[in-house]
A and B are shown apart, each in its own frame.
Chain A
Amino acid sequence: MSVLVYIENRDGQFKKNQLELMSYAKKISEASNQDIVTLSIGNVKEEEWARLSAHGATRVLNGENLPNQIDNEVFAQALFAAIELVQPKYLILSDNNTGKALAPRVSVKYRAGIVSGILGLPISYEPFIGKKRAYSGKAFAHVKVNSDLKVLTLSPNSFEIKESSGNVQLEAFEPTLPTPKTKVVQADKQTGKLLLSEADIVVSGGRGMKSADNWGPLEELAEAMGAATACSRPVSDEGWRPHHEHVGQTGKIIGPTLYIALGISGAIQHLAGVSSSKVIVAINKDPEAPIFAAADYGIVGDVQKLIPQLIVAYKELKQ
């Protein structure tokens, strides 16, 4: 019996979210007294294995010859092969695009219940009950899974990275896979930018930023702080920022450590998407803006004037 975790690499590296996931799987394996088996697909840089080791990985099914991004159906077949091999009690994935595409397929194939976007450790193991967001962050649901195999997709930033001693042993994983029905004809990488879902700090702009041209200082602040940039719905609707930056009920739901809302009034739909942030900072010229009711720290003032001051103050702090 084991815990199977799929650790995804990006350009051969394991990002912060994946180390969270590794730490999480390790914790579940200890709590439920099971071995931990890690599945990796695609080519991983040599030095990365040590990092995985340091977060509890031992046995690794290394599908290094499998393509990194493949057709969902074929990808799922690889996952099925790993499941057949290790007969896990738990399958753990990230609650990201990959996890959302694969976990439901496993669920169907093995009649396994899922807790998608599980927030941290379960409420109970026997019976298995996990907590997840519902109503787009306006509530939480306790989900009970009855099946033997439990599929969990871990919500980013909901479990702290923990170092633990592991000892990675790579085991070649070469399942025979069917021909994919879809064909990737072009791939565009989002280079250099921190992914919104993976960021600890998110700097976000709203309609109060006034125009697309005013984003320079906001990006500068984000870069100084090592933060990802985001925006509210009106901003992406106006085309000031791309859709993938929209956070809120109908955009991305995020839970960073620090969320800085600049010129965002805080419509209920927006708040739903960011309410699980650990700390929320709001800067808005309107003292009545609902964002202040959701924020931990607030300044009533002009964002254009304050952003440069924040950059200076932050740089001073870091010196």
Chain B
Amino acid sequence: MKILVCISNVPDTTTRIKLAGDKKSVETNGVQWIINPWDELALTRAMELSEQNAGSIQSISVVSVGDASVEPTLRKALAVGANEAIRVNLVPADSYSVAVQLAEVVKQENPDLVLLGIESSDFNSSGVGAMLAELLGFASASSVSSLELSSSGLTIKREVEGGTEQLECPLPAILSVQKGIALEPRIPAMRGIMMARSKPLKVVEPVAVEPLSEWIELELPEAKSACKMIPEDNAKELIRLLHEEAKVI
């Protein structure tokens, strides 16, 4: 089995977001870039599967759509254990343009299983996985919180409104994963970092695509007014304020 994990390059989760001068993007100076946390879970699960099912997974590839600035993140994925990396040389405008590029890569690489996070922590659009599934016509599921290999393909659990469902899913398949799918993301070991030096990172040119939407402006949340402090022995006062002043209970 061949697994392709799609990863997105995002600011570290501790980053304080500041707007860039154009108000359309964020200040990237001093930002630490990381693998999108949900994509990292997907990669971690792919690694776990390959360790638990010795021999049944031939390769794990990672792909990202972006300019050269995403390469450190791809190389980190290689250091963690992916076998090869692909970068589609395009700064994406929206989920659709990412999905179209990824669909091309899938056609070229022919993976049996495509994994990606349910959303990215920058655009939060949750679009790419389902778009990719629609573009390719693979079996798919989203909000997947558990994934095992089975004789006929995959056994998965997904979250639906008000519960979870267990599904049998044939291959090839595309799954958008969420928390619970894997244990802690892995820290690359020295050996992995060393081996990543000789693993391939392939750059491919994008296919033409028209974005369907665009981010025209960013704004930051308004600063909160000061917190009203209530003495420790007066829970009653808090409840009163919530009722009479804030009017939320």
Chain A residues with CB under 8 Å of chain B are 8, 10-11, 69, 71-73, 76, 96-98, 100-105, 107-109, 111-117, 129, 132-147, 181-190, 195, 201, 225, 236-237, 243-244, 246, 249-251, 253, 257-258, 267-269, 272, 275-276, 278-279, 281-282, 292-302, 306, 309-310, 312-314, 316-317
State whether the Cβ of B203 lies closer than 8 Å to any Cβ in chain A: no
**Per-residue 0/1 for B142-160: is the Cβ within 8 Å of any A Cβ (1 yes, 0 no)?**
1101000000000000111
Query: Distance in Å from the Cβ of B101 to the closest Cβ of chain A?
Result: 13
> Which residues of chain A are near B213, meaning CB under 8 Å?
113-115, 143-147
In the complex, B139 has a CB within 8 A of chain A: yes
Measured CA separation A117–B95 after assembly (Å): 14
User: Contact: B139 with A292, CB < 8 Å?
Assistant: no
A142 in contact with B219 given A73-B139, A104-B134, A136-B124 (CB within 8 Å): yes
Contact check, A186 vs B229: say whether CB atoms are below 8 A apart.
no
Contacts of A278 in B (CB 8 A): 248
The yes or no answer to B141 lying at the interface (CB within 8 A) is: yes
A135 with B248: CB separation less than 8 A: no
Chain B contact residue count (CB 8 A cutoff) = 85
| Contact stretch, chosen from B8-16, B65-73, B74-82, B107-115 | B8-16
Chain B residues with CB below 8 A from A293, complex form: 224, 227
Query: Closest A-chain residue to B230, C-beta based?
Result: A299
Interface residues of B in 157-191 (CB under 8 A from A): 158-170, 176, 179-180, 184
Query: Pick the contact of B161 from A72, A98, A188, A269 — CB < 8 Å?
Result: A98
**B140, closest chain A residue (CB):** A72
Q: Is the interface of B mostly helix, strand, loop or mixed?
A: mixed
Give the shortest distance, in Å, between B27 (CB) and chain A (any CB): 11
Question: How many Å lie between the Cα of A143 and that of B123 in the bound state?
Answer: 11
Cα of A143 to Cα of B238 in the assembled complex, Å: 39
Residues of B within 8 A of A (CB): 11, 13-17, 19, 26, 37-38, 94-96, 99, 118-119, 121-131, 133-135, 137-143, 145, 158-170, 176, 179-180, 184, 212-221, 224-225, 227-232, 234-236, 238-243, 246, 248-249
Q: Kindly provide the distance from the CB of B231 to the nearest chain A CB, expressed in whole angstroms.
A: 8
- CB-CB < 8 A to B161: which residues of A? 8, 10, 96-98, 195
* Residues from chain B with Cβ under 8 Å of A316 in the complex: 236, 239
Q: In the complex, which residue of chain B has the Cβ closest to the Cβ of A226? A: B249
A181 lies within 8 A of B139 (CB): yes
- Note all chain A residues with C-beta closer than 8 A to B160: 69, 97-98, 187
Task: List A contacts of B122 (CB < 8 A).
Answer: 134-136
A244 and B167 CA atoms in complex are apart in Å by 19
* CB atoms of A146 and B227 under 8 A apart: no
Q: How far is the CB of B221 from chain A (nearest CB, A)?
A: 6
Also in contact, A146 and B142, with CB within 8 A (given A294-B224, A298-B227, A309-B235): no
Which of B141, B214, B230 contacts A143, CB < 8 Å?
Answer: B214
Min CB distance B156 to A, Å, is 8
Contact B236 A253, beta carbon cutoff 8 Å: no
User: In whole angstroms, what is the CA distance A96 to B106 when docked?
Assistant: 27
Residues in chain A near residue B170, CB distance under 8 A: 181-182
How far apart are the CA atoms of A242 and B56 in the complex, in Å?
31
- Is the Cβ of B142 less than 8 Å from the Cβ of A72? yes
B248 x A279 contact (CB < 8 A): yes
Do residues A181 and B169 form an inter-chain contact, with CB atoms below 8 A? Answer: yes
Do A314 and B249 contact each other (CB < 8 Å), given the known contacts A142-B218, A184-B167, A186-B166?
yes
The residue from A71, A139, A225, A310 contacting B218, defined by CB atoms under 8 A apart: A139
| Distance, CA A174 to CA B130, complexed state (A) | 24
- CB atoms of B127 and A104 under 8 A apart: yes
Which of B128, B135, B212, B249 has a CB less than 8 Å from the CB of A113? B212
Tell whether, in the assembled complex, residue B246 and residue A190 are in contact, meaning their CB atoms are under 8 Å apart. no
**Contact B179 A243, beta carbon cutoff 8 Å:** yes
